Amino acid sequence: MNPAAPAPTPVPIHDIVGPVWFFPWPAWAVACAALGAVLVVAGLVWGLRSLLGRKKPPTAKERALAALEKLRSTVAGADPYAFGITVSDAIRNYIREQHGLHATTQTSLEFLESIAADPVFSGNEKAGLAVFLEKTDLLKYARAEAGESEMIGLLETAGRLVRAEVQPQKPAEEKP
């Protein structure tokens, strides 16, 4: 060593630091990705619940039977005029929705003439419809009186029409 040369200055020694945390993505990107994942999972859960919990809309037949059943609970003390309108509307709406016929916009006579040659209804169904519409027209337009038993009979006829269980009409016995 050369005595004339100055002594080298020692390099400062720094303290040893702990491990450096290394994460390849910024924190804001991780937070956005986590929020997005939570939203996607929540959307999937909500979608599956709504698909599994969704009820099939009722058919025209089910709606008509429900309307008739609701009407059955109001028969006691019901006004025959209002009853005739309601039960007739229930059947006419059912026929319109189920068969696509203009039952709600035609008179009873026009409707019966329009289905005379239509194969949608059997002969028994056409006869049952004719009797049913005649009775409801008497209640609606002639304001005929009807007791509870007649109104229940109309409801049962209407139910058979909807369920396509119309019985053959028996001719009324003539009195001498």
Q: Three-class SS of residue 144?
A: coil
User: By three-state DSSP, how is residue 162 classified?
Assistant: helix
- Model pLDDT for residues 21-77, shown as the tens digit of each residue: 777 888 899 999 999 999 999 999 998 888 887 778 888 999 999 999 999 888 888
Cα–Cα distance measured from residue 129 to residue 83, given in angstroms and rounded to the nearest whole number: 17
pTM, two decimal places? 0.64
Spell out the domain ranges in the chain.
Answer: 60-163
| Distance from C-alpha of 40 to C-alpha of 97, rounded to nearest angstrom | 40
Checking if the pLDDT of 172 tops 70, the result is no
Check residue 113 and give its pLDDT. 92
Share of the chain above pLDDT 70, in %: 91
CA atoms of 145 and 79, how far apart (whole Å): 9
Confidence of residue 3 (pLDDT cuts 50, 70, 90): low
Q: Is 87 buried (19+), middle (13-18) or exposed (0-12) by CB count in 10 A?
A: buried
For residue 146 the two structure tokens come to: 């009807």
